[in-house]
Amino acid sequence: MEFIDYYKVLDLDKGASQSDIKKAYRKLARKYHPDINPNNKEAEKKFKEINEAHMVLSNPENRKKYDQYGKDWQHAEEFEKAKKSRQYSYGPQSSGSSQGYSGQDFSDFFESMFGGSQNFGGRGRVKFRGQDLNASLQLHIRDVYTSHKRTLTINNKKIRLNIPAGIENGQTIKISGHGGPGQQGGPNGDLYISFTIINDTPFKRDGNNLYTTVNLDLYKAVLGGDITVDSFEGQVKLKVKPETQNGTKVKLKGKGFPVYKKEGQFGDLYITYNIVVPTKLSPKEKELFSELATLKKHA
């Protein structure tokens, strides 16, 4: 357990007035508040430190105790004993362990000296929003082709989640109120889930559009005809125009990926033709190709 210099946390001198402490707290809290810095772990950590420092220094009685025992924190245990003996007369509300934001988020130093935030009665408004939680979920691209429900276990709590079709790789969704519990009437934090989408299909995804390459035999490319190609929903019949060139792109409207949170709307599927030149030609085939070449030369 390390000693924490709360004055240093708030960038203050030991002789700082209550107004200096308030000003310093406001300045730093505005900079590091979790609502201003969503998904920023560093800011969240800093905000907790600032809060802790403010809770101690803004209360003259606790500041006095901190100034007295803080440097020599080994004596905190004795201080704690004395404090506990006083607590019994306060009734059941002031005993018990602190929860949520305080239980998890105050430093060991703070817990040891002050026993959590519940022993702070001096500050009028000490409502704390619960901690935001972050989780990551790995899904296969086929899983996010359709909306589905999934049950996640986060901090031993089961959360039933509706995963809308069309979620992007790297996208984060917020589940309001499913983060850490709020303290002293404060609201619960939020749960942020980041998605990693694994794609091992022949389809490349760019937003709502899908891209794939289809091999086309030379004869069908030259003469045209019908082919069957794979889409995410199954096989699709496609007409190939005569004299199709290598690299030709064809768009299949509405056969791409579902648009996020827009039910019934889909992107497009782009197919690029890769014309396959026949190999291992028989003497007869070679003869016919030569004939074609001669015809072309004289055309």
Partner 1 sequence: MGNEHYIAITDFCISHNISSKFILELHDYGLIELISMEKTRYIPLQQLPRAEKILRLYSDLEINLEGIAVINHLLDRIEKMQDEIIFLKNKLHLYEE
Residues contributing to the site for partner 1 (CB under 8 A): 26, 29-30, 33, 35-36, 38, 125, 127, 129, 168-171, 174, 176-177, 185, 187, 190, 204-207, 211
Q: How far is the CB of 243 from partner 1 (least distance, A)?
A: 29
Contacts of 177 (CB under 8 A, 6+ apart): 187, 188, 189, 190
Give the type of residue at 56: V
Q: How far is the CB of 29 from partner 1 (least distance, A)?
A: 6
Q: How far is the CB of 287 from partner 1 (least distance, A)?
A: 42
Residues written for the chain: 299
Question: Which C-beta is closer to partner 1: that of 136 or that of 228?
Answer: 136
Q: How far is the CB of 170 from partner 1 (least distance, A)?
A: 4
Question: Which C-beta is closer to partner 1: that of 186 or that of 225?
Answer: 186
- How far is Cα 200 from Cα 279, in angstroms, rounded to an integer? 29
Q: How far is the CB of 231 from partner 1 (least distance, A)?
A: 18
- How far is Cα 107 from Cα 104, in angstroms, rounded to an integer? 8
The b/e string for 17-56 (b: 16+ C-beta within 10 A; e otherwise) is: eeeebeebbeebbeebbbeeeeeeeebbebbbbbbbbbbb
- How far is Cα 141 from Cα 167, in angstroms, rounded to an integer? 9
Question: Which C-beta is closer to partner 1: that of 36 or that of 292?
Answer: 36
- Residue identified by tokens 């979920």 is 137
Question: Which C-beta is closer to partner 1: that of 69 or that of 203?
Answer: 203
Joined together, the tokens standing for residue 17 give 């007035």
Strands (E), the chain: 133-140, 148-154, 157-163, 172-175, 191-198, 204-206, 209-217, 225-231, 234-240, 249-252, 269-276
Q: How far is the CB of 23 from partner 1 (least distance, A)?
A: 11
Question: Which C-beta is closer to partner 1: that of 113 or that of 144?
Answer: 144
Question: Which C-beta is closer to partner 1: that of 105 or that of 190?
Answer: 190
